[in-house]
Amino acid sequence: MPECVNPIWPCALTGAVSCLAGFRDLAVVIHGSSGCYYYPKSLIKAPIYGSFILNEEVIFGTGGRLRSVVSEIMENGSDRVAVVTSCVPALMGEDLASELDGLQILLVDAPGFLGDAEAGYRIAAETLLKEAQITVPGVNIGGICLLDPFWRGNMHESERILAMAGIPVGAVLSYDQLDTLSHAAPVTVAANPDYEALLGRPGGSLLGLPSLKQTLIDAAHTIPDADPAPVLAECERAEEMAFTACEKYLRRNDPPIAAICAQAGYASLFADLLCTYLGAKRPLILPRNVTDIPANTDYDQIRSALLPDTYDLVIGSSYEARILPDAAFVGITPPNRGQIMLGSRPLAGIEGTLHAVEMILNAVLDQKKKDYTRSLR
C-alpha cells in the first residue's frame, strides 16, 4: 500500500488474480511488469499468464503486447481470458477495451493501489458475477480464495456440512467452472467472510460453531427438505471434545496470553476459541485487512505493537514468529515459511474449529517442551 513503508499483505491486484484463477476454465493474464506477475505467481498455486511490459512500452503504449499475449493464449485453446491491469497500465489510462476489440475478454481494473487483497478479490468477483444467473435452489459457497492456506479444507468441509444438512450447493466462489455461474443459488454462505463475493443475498458464515449453527438454521427455513439437526448434533459433540481437551491442558497450565495477526475473520475465530475454551484474556489482534478498524500491514508497526509485552502464543505469519521467537507459534497467515501444507485442512466448519483448537494446544505444549529442554542445559 502507498502509505505503508514495508507492506506484508498482498495488494488488490493479487486478490483479483486469486479470485479469477479459481475458475479453472478461465485463463488469467496479469497486464504489468515481471514483478507484478511473479509476486502473485509465488502465492497463487494456479496457472496464470503475464504480458511483461517493458520500459519503452510504458511510453509508446502496451496495447499491442497485450493483444499479442491474449491472442496466443486463445490460439492454444483457451476460450475465455481475463485480463487484470496492474498499476502502470492503470495510470497510463490506455483504452485497453478497444485494443482487445473482437476478443472475448473479461477486463478487470484492479491495480494494487486500489487497496488490499480483499478489495481486489471483491472487485474481480463483482466484475465476474455481473452475468451470473440464479436458477437453482440451495446456497453458494463463498469465501474460497487461492491465497488462503486453508481454502481447500474450507471448501471440502463446507460441502460436507451442507450435504449433511440436505442443502444443495450452487456455485463455489471461487473454485469452479464458469458455467456454474449460470446455475447459481439465491444465497451465499461464506467459509472465509473476508473474501466477499456478492452473489444473491448473504446467508451468513460457516466460520466458528455459533455462526455455523445459525447459518444452517436460517438456510433450512428457506430450503424444502433441509434438516440441520445432524449438523447441530455434531457441533455439540465437537464442543465437548474441545472443552475436554482444553480442560486437560488447564489442569497443569495457565491460559495462554496471545497475540493474533491475521485476517479479521480468522483472528476473531481464534480469539473466541481462546476465550471460550481456554479462559484466556482477550488477545491482542492486529488485523491484516481493513474492517471497522485499520489494518496493520507494516512490519515495523507490528513489531512495535508486539515487543512491549510478553506473549505465550502468537498466531500469524512467519513475520510474527520471527519477532517473538520464544512464543508458541500457530501459522495461519501467509507467508508461513518453514512449514509445508499439502493436505486439505480447514478452519471453517466443525472440523475447522477442532483443527484450530488442536493447533493452539499443540503449539503451546510443544513450546513448553522446548522451554523445559532449554532449562536443563
Residues 282 and 244 in one domain: yes
In this predicted structure, what is the pLDDT of residue 371? 86
**54 and 100 co-located in one domain:** yes
pTM beyond cutoff 0.75? yes
Instruction: Let me know: does 183 contact 135? Beta carbons within 8 Å.
Output: yes
Using the 8-state DSSP alphabet, how is residue 32 labeled? S
Check residue 6 and give its pLDDT. Answer: 52
pLDDT in tens, 186-232: 999 999 999 998 899 999 999 999 999 999 999 999 999 999 999 99
> Residue 57: what pLDDT?
81
pLDDT of 55 reads: 83
Cell numbers given for 170: 450452487
Q: In what order do the strands lie in the sheet with 169-172?
A: 169-172, 139-142, 187-190, 201-205
Residues 274 and 351 in one domain: yes
Q: Cell 485442512 maps to which residue?
A: 345
Per the listing, cell 444473491 goes with 200
At 373 the pLDDT is 85
Report the pLDDT value the prediction gives residue 33, as an integer from 0 to 100: 93
* 218 and 241 in a common domain: no
**Residue-number span of the structural domain to which 70 is assigned:** 12-130
- Could you give the angle at which helices 349-375 and 264-278 cross, rounded to 10 degrees? 70
Q: Are residues 185 and 89 in the same domain?
A: no
> Has residue 3 been placed in a domain?
no
The domain that holds 21 is classified in CATH as 3.40.50.1980
Residue 100 CA to residue 52 CA, distance in Å, equals 17
- Domain co-membership, 361 together with 280: yes
Judge if 110 and 40 occupy the same domain: yes
pLDDT at 5: 47
Closest residue by Cα to residue 207 from 247, 151, 169, 256: 151
Last residue of one domain, picked from the residues 191, 226, 261: 226
Q: What is the DSSP string of 59-92?
A: HH-SHHHHHHHHHHHHHTT-S-EEEEE-HHHHHH
As beta bridge partners, residue 166 has none
* pLDDT of the residue at 56: 81
Contacts of 241 (CB under 8 A, 6+ apart): 354
Structurally, the chain folds into a number of domains equal to 3
Q: Is residue 6 part of a domain?
A: no
Q: Are residues 90 and 173 in the same domain?
A: no
Q: How are strands ordered across the β-sheet holding 313-316?
A: 284-285, 258-260, 313-316, 328-331
List, for the chain, all residue ranges whose pLDDT scores fall below the cut of 70. 1-7
Question: At 255, phi and psi to the nearest 5?
Answer: -60, 140
238 in any annotated domain = yes
Contact 331, 319 (CB under 8 A): no
